Structure 1
Amino acid sequence: MPRAALVDLGAFEFSEFERGILECLEGLKGFPRFALANALVHLGKAYVLAPIDMEMAVFRAITAEEEAATSLILVLRQRRYRNAKKLKFDRHVHKLGLNEFIEVIRAHLSSLRGVPNVRLKRKLVRDSKRMTLEIQVGSAWLEPVPPLNLQSRDDTTKQVYFFSREVAARLARDGAKSLKDSLRKIADTRNQILYACERGRPEVVSTDLEQVLGVVRSRVFRFAILIALLFPYRKRAPFVQQAIDAFLKSVEGIEVEMDYWESPPDIA
């Protein structure tokens, strides 16, 4: 039986941008593909359930995000990134925590001065569509190979930066003692929408549901973009390794190497 194209999954209409992302993922195989396909199916069922069972719609949506995160973790393992096996796709804190940590990294990048313009682009490579990243330098657009073949270092120590300032700001905002505690509260959402507690029974307000599904949908496709930027390339990208190590150090307290990949990025 031929496998279904990713763009044919999900009981909702993909945008042109979303379809473009999925077309770049048709070469994805095995467990990572199954997990991503399942994410799309869960997301589609969330939209179907929304008018009749809002709690289960949210549950399906959360599961969609977790499955997309699982697909990313599996790709990182397949590409043999150091410490990728310490990312656990059977732990809610890791799966739901990945997107939160991406927000930590985004806060860091947004704070930098003189950040160049960056754009995603699709191109045809040996009869398959591939997602690439282009960075503007002057009037030229350069393409790191692989994408994210970059690195961020601390201005003071010159060591690889593990986003400590942004993590501290996140903890202050959440009033949490550790990032793991903060992420655990997010992971507990799955149970909170299904089970009663001393304050009463859970209830999803219909006015919130459309926003929730939209947020989760954007997270699923954020993971899809990252997978598309990673899985075609055997060469490991320094910024991806930096993000993995920073996540494990911040969430699990795992000590990692502080300095690696001294060579400049390759440019296509």
Structure 2
Amino acid sequence: MTYSPRQPSIISRTPWWLLAIALLFVVGLWAITADAGYSQIFRALAGGVVTTLWVAFFAFVAAIVLGLLVALARTSQSRVLREIATFYVEIIRGIPVLVFLFYVAFVGAPWFVSAINVLLNPLVQLGWLEVMTIRDFDFVWRAILALTVCYSAFIAEIFRAGIEAVDRGQVEAARALGLSRWNTFRFVVAPQALRTILPPLANDFVSMIKDSALVSALGVQDITQLGKVYSSGTFKFFETYNVVAFLYLTMTISLSLLVRLLERHLRGRQR
């Protein structure tokens, strides 16, 4: 008779930190559903969840596009493009997100509106368009623009690392076979670089959701701003910020677990 070792249970194989987080989530969910005060706070802040996710998602997609362009410039054979892209990355990464947010909202936005008015002045003179005012540039879009520029510098470095991780010999072989630069990037570099950049890119999206709380400084009605307004009117600071933290934790931890599954899936495919 052969002896087969006893397989460990699912609970014993589950990390303790994950069990603690699950317990914390259950307690928070129970408080929101069972306590009338917490339920009222949750309803007051629920609208901010949509704003937070919308701002983060839109800014992140735009940052990916801009970051890819900057990364391609940084890996370009043109020294001028490399120097300009490097200057952009180093400057943007050296400025705190909140400072850049204020700069875009209160300095960059008026300049942008003035430039638009100068470009469209002939159409305004003909009566086809009206003069654009600073009020027409909503604070939500100013916040999205600021987050896009800030995160594009970090995402550019992720893309650059992924592109440079591809063996140079494969690129030279593709070029020797007659592939154009675009087709070499599309069929040789991009598929391999994607496996490298996906996990850190997903982690950056988690960070984007957390940093989107800074847009409350501009009065954007996200979770943080609604929590600040509600707590200042009811003086329920402890309960309100418990719900604010619970909402952010629910979003960020869920995404973090998805990132872990993605990393495990990619490691399994590479074996």
TM-score range, shorter chain: under 0.3
TM-score (norm: length of structure 1): 0.22
TM-score, normalised with respect to structure 2: 0.22
Structure with the largest fraction of helix: 2
Q: Which has the larger radius of gyration?
A: 2
